[in-house]
Structure 1
Amino acid sequence: MRRRWRQTQYIVDLFWKRWVKEYLPMLQERRKWNKTCRNFAIDDVVLVVDEAAPRNSWPIGRTTETMADSSGLIRRVRVKTRTNELEKPINKICLLLEAV
């Protein structure tokens, strides 16, 4: 029984590592600076990336504030999750659902 549980945990860990390495970068697609892309907006639903957190425990939240640089591009956002409010750079969040 214990052997089966360890095997299952091993497979789940492999899946999670592969998901983070292969699929997550596709959600955070980057474009060259000379091409315009959509900025984050208030009320976007996002996944907060945290490599230190255990698998399947990254929080989902909603953006409450956007912070632009001098050129008008959004560089940081404030995200409200179920338990708290975080300020994160845009490379540490993934857009799941655009605001309407």
Structure 2
Amino acid sequence: MGGLWEAGVKSAKHLLLRAVGNARLTAEELQTVLVGVEAVLNSRHLGALSQDPSDGEALTPGHLLTGGPLIAPPAPRTPDQQGLTCLRRWRLVSSIKQMFWQRWSREYVLGLQARSKWQHQEDDIRTGELVLIAEDHQPPQQWLTGRVGATHAGADGRVRVAVVRTSSGAEYRRAVHKLARLPVS
């Protein structure tokens, strides 16, 4: 009965409240923050856009809404309130949006990674799968995605490292715990 998307709403509300903290925002500033949060949530990956192994593009809710990826509009200029200059207010709103992005993207990637008990063996990442690459310091709404080009097994025969090629042609060698399969393939 909607448990999956309700859990996403709960997570977003929790992170937004943590990001805003004690800050007193005007209606325009709160609207700017909410538009940024909406753009972040609608930039998450749903699945591969095509089955072509050379395509690193992923389908997002933004593609369904506007036909392409969403870009957050620039923050509007606000008047001086409570002794804060416009620049300080803009920095406050920007830092709230950045804090939300950092926390949400970290939790989203962790949520995509399979966590199973040691009694159940999960399938290894295979060549050609579209994955998100967990990278710190990514700008908001920009997910680093790529296709697995090669895998390297450990001594136990399980895949431990994968070589991932992005759509820009760059190759990354990452441990599998830094990669997340997209929820729908």
TM-score w.r.t. length of structure 1 = 0.79
Worse-matched range after superposition: 4-13 or 62-71 = 4-13
Task: For structure 1, list consecutive stretches of 5 or more residues without a partner in the other structure.
Answer: none
Equivalent residue number for residue 149 of structure 2: 64
Looking at structure 2, the residues matched to 55 and 32 of structure 1 have their Cα atoms a distance apart, in angstroms, of: 33
Equivalent residue number for residue 29 of structure 2: none
Task: For structure 2, list consecutive stretches of 5 or more residues without a partner in the other structure.
Answer: 1-76, 78-86
Equivalent residue number for residue 114 of structure 2: 29
Question: In terms of Rg, which structure is larger?
Answer: 2
Relative distance call for 1:97 and 1:30 in structure 2 (3 A) is closer
Q: How much identity, in percent, do the aligned residues show?
A: 31
**Does the 8 A contact of 1:27 with 1:94 survive in 2?**
yes
Superposition RMSD in Å: 2.2
Looking at structure 2, the residues matched to 62 and 98 of structure 1 have their Cα atoms a distance apart, in angstroms, of: 15
Structure number with greater CO (CA < 8 Å, separation at least 6) is: 1
Aligned residues between the structures: 98
> Structure 2 matches for 1:1-100, cutoff 5 A?
1=77, 2-51=87-136, 53-56=137-140, 57-81=142-166, 82-96=168-182
**Does the 8 A contact of 1:41 with 1:66 survive in 2?**
yes
User: Which residue identity is paired with 2:91?
Assistant: R
- The structure whose residues are more often strand, as a share, is 1
TM-score w.r.t. length of structure 2 = 0.46
